[in-house]
Amino acid sequence: MLAALMQSDNELLVAWRDGDTRAGKALFERHFASLRRFFANKVDLPEVEDLMQRSFMGCVEAVERFRGDSSFRTFLFAIARRQLYKHFRDQRVKEGRRADDLSVTSVAELGRTPSSILGAQQEGQMLLTALQRISVDHQTVLELHYWEQLSTDEIANICDIAPPTVRTRLHRARHALKGVLEAEMVARGKSIEELDIDAAAVAARP
């Protein structure tokens, strides 16, 4: 197992494709925390573990088609995002309702109660709650950018959109988030003059 720790994601992936199940296990353990964080601010706690398992299984099923054009991390998050959006669609079908447009619908509007706000400091909780009140598309790109430190090209691969679209979406997402935060701060009687979305988003990483 120590040898696996010394290997890069791509080396582990090649070994996994060649039948080394320990390499696959090492990859999943390496990215477990990031994947859990991706789901934790969007779905209820019991759903987090299920979606993580579905994402890992999706990797197993798709590994033979992965040729290394992007990083394994990008590959994993792309599968995770598809699983998340499918989960939201399936929930609506189960409820006998039309699927939501996640470019305009927020986690809060979907009626979710994500787990990552539990135990957060007051300021961090406010930011996490604000993220849940902007569209899922906007929330996703902000979290991938700030929490996972992914590049524009990586986010474009994950979201299946062009890099310029990522930049536009990030700009609009920051604007939307700032609007929600300003309204919340005014409601709490706090000053909004020093509001820094970049610093707040990084600081609120679960």
Instruction: Convert the pLDDT of each residue in 75-109 to its tens digit.
Output: 899 999 999 999 999 988 888 877 788 888 898 88
Residue 23 has pLDDT above 80, yes or no: yes
What is the residue type of 43? V
Q: Is the pLDDT of residue 162 over 50?
A: yes
Q: Identify residue 166 by its one-letter amino acid code.
A: V
Q: Specify the amino acid at residue 188.
A: R
pLDDT bin (cut points 50, 70, 90) of residue 198 is low
* pLDDT confidence tier of residue 191, bands split at 50, 70 and 90: low
Q: Which domains does the chain have, with CATH numbers?
A: 2-203 (1.10.1740.10)
Q: Render pLDDT for 108-153 as a digit per residue (tens, 0 to 9).
A: 888 766 654 444 445 567 788 889 999 999 999 999 999 999 999 9
Band (pLDDT 50/70/90 cuts) for residue 157 is very high
- Which of left, alpha, beta for 196 (phi over 0: left; psi -120 to 50: alpha)? beta
Residue 29: φ, ψ to 5°:
-65, -35
pLDDT for residue 54 is more than 70: yes
* Total number of residues shown for the chain: 206
Report pLDDT for 120: 46
Task: Give the global pTM.
Answer: 0.82
Kindly give the interhelix angle for 21-40 and 136-146, rounded to the nearest 10 degrees.
120
Check if the beta carbon of residue 43 is closer than 8 Å to that of residue 85.
no
What is residue 106's three-state secondary structure?
strand
Average pLDDT over the chain reads: 83
- pLDDT given at position 70: 77
- CA 49, 55, 56, 61 dihedral sign is positive
CB of 88 closer than 8 Å to CB of 100 = yes
Of 145, 139, 146, 147, the closest CA to residue 106 belongs to: 139
Q: How far is CA 31 from CA 11, 38, 76, in A?
A: 15, 11, 9
Helix H or strand E encompassing 170: helix 163-187
Percent of the chain with pLDDT over 90: 37
pLDDT of residue 118: 42
Look at 3-17, 40-54, 88-102, 130-144 and tell me which has the smallest mean pLDDT: 3-17
Predicted pLDDT of residue 124: 66
